[in-house]
Amino acid sequence: MTNILIVFGTRPEAIKMAPLYHELQKSSCEVKVCVTAQHRQMLDQVLDFFAIVPDYDLDLMQANQSLNELSSRIIQKMDAVLMSEPFDWVLVHGDTTTSSMAALAAFHRGIKVGHVEAGLRTYNKQAPFPEEINRQITSRIADIHFTPTTQATKNLLNEGVSETYISETGNTVIDALFWTANKIQEAGYLHPEIEQLKKSIPTNKKIILVTGHRRESFGEGLQNLCAALLKISERDDVAIVYPVHLNPKVKHVIYELLFNKKNICVIPPVSYPAFVWLMQQSFLIVTDSGGIQEEAPSLGKPVLVTRTISERPEGVLAGFSTLVGTDLQKIIKNMEAILDDFTGFEEKRNPYGNGKASQQIVDFLLKEPK
């Protein structure tokens, strides 16, 4: 029997690994979950919704810890987990410090590493920081690369990775999105956050859903985004909903500039099912998130990406998203254009997957020798 350890630490990782965990549960593999709790509160919401009880909880979240402190603690704590039983594979996801350091710890112990959502690149080590380098470190370590798109596959091939060690599967976030959308639409399903949002979000306006948390946007970039939102909020036909990230460098700025302003609803972070519901209600999404860029096409929602470069170019090329950076006038101009003119996409197929990525990953692992 193949013994697999899934490791994740942030909310986005948990969302994208949840469907893979449940698919592995249905297989002949022995599967365990280790969480670093890089994001404690937001992580726990996802674990609860997807009914995942970690076998190992490293509980590494500390206020204001540096990346170096976090990295060293992940390697140290992971070592004990990796020595506790004979794992054949460690599966990590994406671009977090948890992913790269867990992969390194597994490599040091001679355990094979599978990288889910592999091959995304900007080739700019400062954007996104530190995620771009985390991905590249993990790619150098990984034994199998599960790529979400053809472009991600090409990136790895260009870097010298053999196609033998690449499996193009689509993105597991689409699996999670479909599962969640179906769940919250079930007859009799009630989610307290969604019920509360239904009472506070207007139904007669165009909803603009906003998120922002990346380090490269701190300071002037975040202030420009707020200024653009204040300008757009002068329109009577819009309602802006901004679930604010818990990072103090984000939270303090957003609340200072946008809280209690007309047509702007600043709210604490919401759970994943509540966020999926908000995406469904939205007319436009403004974000620097990678996962949202992947999810929105399946919901038919246009996205303005407040970054100058993205490791997810497929959505831009297909017309689902637009890079606007943090330039004040560019954000305003593109928001107004979508609010005034958008009637839907010609392209209907989501370039990031069809909801079967987890099944394809499990099928690959079952064929792979220990």
| Distance from C-alpha of 283 to C-alpha of 114, rounded to nearest angstrom | 37
- Residue 249 pLDDT more than 80? no
Please, is 320 exposed, middle or buried when counting C-beta atoms within 10 Å of its C-beta (0-12, 13-18, 19+)? buried
Kindly report the pTM of this predicted structure. 0.92
Catalytic residue (one of 11, 13, 23, 131) = 131
Catalytic residue (one of 11, 39, 214, 215) = 215
| Distance from C-alpha of 26 to C-alpha of 3, rounded to nearest angstrom | 14
Catalytic residue (one of 11, 13, 93, 95) = 95
Least confident range from 17-31, 169-183, 235-249, 272-286: namely 235-249
Once rounded to an integer, what is the mean pLDDT over residues 206-224?
85
Catalytic residue (one of 23, 117, 168, 294) = 117
The pLDDT value recorded for residue 216 is 66
To the nearest whole number, what is the mean pLDDT of the chain? 94
Query: Quick check: is 117 catalytic?
Result: yes
The sign one gets for the Cα dihedral 360, 357, 2, 368 is: positive
Query: Quick check: is 215 catalytic?
Result: yes
Query: Quick check: is 93 catalytic?
Result: no
Q: Which phi and psi (to 5°) does residue 11 adopt?
A: -60, -50
Once rounded to an integer, what is the mean pLDDT over residues 261-272?
94
Catalytic residue (one of 11, 39, 121, 245) = 245
Which residue, 110, 96, 119, is CA-closest to 9?
96
- Residue 148 pLDDT more than 70? yes
Query: Quick check: is 213 catalytic?
Result: yes
pLDDT band of residue 346 (cuts 50, 70, 90) is confident
The pLDDT value recorded for residue 217 is 66
| Domain architecture of the chain: domains with CATH | 3-170+355-367 (3.40.50.2000), 191-341 (3.40.50.2000)
